[in-house]
Structure 1
Amino acid sequence: MKKNETKQKVMDAACHLFYVKGYHGASVRDIAKKANVNVSLINYYFTSKQGLLESAVVSYYEEYIREIEKNLLETEQMLPMDRLKQLIEVIIHYKQNQHQFTCFIQRELTIDSIFVREMMVTYLAKENYIISKLFNASLEGTSHSNMDREFFLLQLKGLISTPYMAPNEWRNQIVWGQSLEMFVSKYSKSINNWLDFVAKV
């Protein structure tokens, strides 16, 4: 199905402004100006700024989960650790491609709200289940206790999200163009090295 280009343009403008100004700092008028559309068009498509935010987040996570599930199908014959490593690269690549909105979402996840809880119940719960299952399968046969595994899993999630939780500290590493692929490759490899260490200790 062909995407509505105008609607997508509005969502892209909103994602950028939410990142730069924050949700409350970005007005519907600001978004309309950046997207070069009338405010009434935003109200037509999304009803309100909250509706626009929800549409953008749902779109982000729907595509994210599709990418994860596609990768799981493509790697189902591989060993759990190799599957996990491949999945991490897919996740970092997706987050990096959507860098600004990923950073915005990470900020929002620190706020306890009904909207955040809804995201956690739907998308984040699925992501957590998939990563946890592969991670635990990767550590089968090791001597780690259940508590050790829980701590290691928490660290893995932190490694995946940290470039987007403190973007200013990563500014010199995260740039656009050709270096995007380089960052994805190098950062994924550093996580994979950590996984190898965890599997051996």
Structure 2
Amino acid sequence: MSGHIGKTKESILEAAVELFTSKGFKGTTIRDIAGRAKVNPANISYYYHGKQGLLEACLISFFEPYLSLLEEEKRKIDWEDPEICLHRAIRKVLVFQSEQHLLSRLVWREITIDSQVAREIIASYLMQERYYFKALTSAAMGGKSPSLPVSMLIIQLKGMLTAPFLNSQYISEVWGMHPKESYFIEKYYESIIEWLQTALHVQKNALYIARPPAPVIRTV
């Protein structure tokens, strides 16, 4: 019996992810989800307390394992090479998102929307994510002076990790591959690591900051 319930809940969740991604949260109805999952609409209210609760369940089903991957590598920086831990965390995150590419797209899109769900559910998860990335990045620096402040490194790294799944169509056009393909993940991972090594190892005093030329003041 419990196995049947688990399959029903999983079917509802999968249908919600597909429809929320393609039609949007507001454009999807409970009946749409029930029809896709082949369940009675009452099951959705019973298990998830409606559409809002179902969206929250989608977010939780993403962030819980996602943050566990980061936490696992953060714990290892005390006895392993921190840079290797950071690299491994990056690859794990890419693989996880690739395997859950529809859910990943839904989650990162919801973050861009100033909704009650974003404020109450996502905010706490993002604080944990920032903590883990800061710990991993700071440890990987090993006392070096990076080319960018830690906060900017994290922002850029986060952007590169989410971009393929938030903008999968654009990435497919540029790279000729879909983010759900394992070959794409390997090539993209290599590109991120190349960028990261440069960002972590270039000294600030070695940077050249281009400045616009001084304006020419003409006298009459």
Alignment TM-score, normalising by the size of structure 1: 0.88
Closer/same/farther in 2, CA of residues 141 and 68 from structure 1, 3 Å limit: closer
Residue 188 of structure 1 is matched in structure 2 by: 189
Of residues 91-100 and 135-144 in structure 1, the stretch that sits farther from structure 2 once superposed is 135-144
For 1:105 and 1:175, the matched residues in 2 are separated by 16
For 1:57 and 1:4, the matched residues in 2 are separated by 18
Closer/same/farther in 2, CA of residues 74 and 5 from structure 1, 3 Å limit: farther
1:25-83: CA deviations, max 9, x gaps?
A: 11111111111111111111112111111112112211222233334456753211111
Residue 42 of structure 1 is matched in structure 2 by: 44
Amino acid paired to 2:49:
T
For 1:124 and 1:149, the matched residues in 2 are separated by 16
Closer/same/farther in 2, CA of residues 69 and 148 from structure 1, 3 Å limit: closer
Q: 1:52-201 counterparts in 2 under 5 A?
A: 52-73=54-75, 77-144=79-146, 148-171=149-172, 172-174=176-178, 176=180, 180-201=181-202
1:113-150: CA deviations, max 9, x gaps?
A: 221122343211111100111112212332337x6332
Which aligned segments of 4 or more residues in structure 1 are displaced greater than 6 angstroms? none
Unaligned runs of 5+ in 2: 203-220
Closer/same/farther in 2, CA of residues 156 and 175 from structure 1, 3 Å limit: closer
Residue 19 of structure 1 is matched in structure 2 by: 21
In the alignment of these two chains, the number of paired residues is 197
Unaligned runs of 5+ in 1: none
- Corresponding residue SS for 1:174: coil
Give the greater-gyration-radius structure (CA): 2
Residue 217 of structure 2 is matched in structure 1 by: none
> How many percent identity over aligned positions?
32
Alignment TM-score, normalising by the size of structure 2: 0.81
Give the conservation status (yes or no) of the 8 Å contact 1:17–1:31. Answer: yes
Give the conservation status (yes or no) of the 8 Å contact 1:81–1:138. Answer: yes
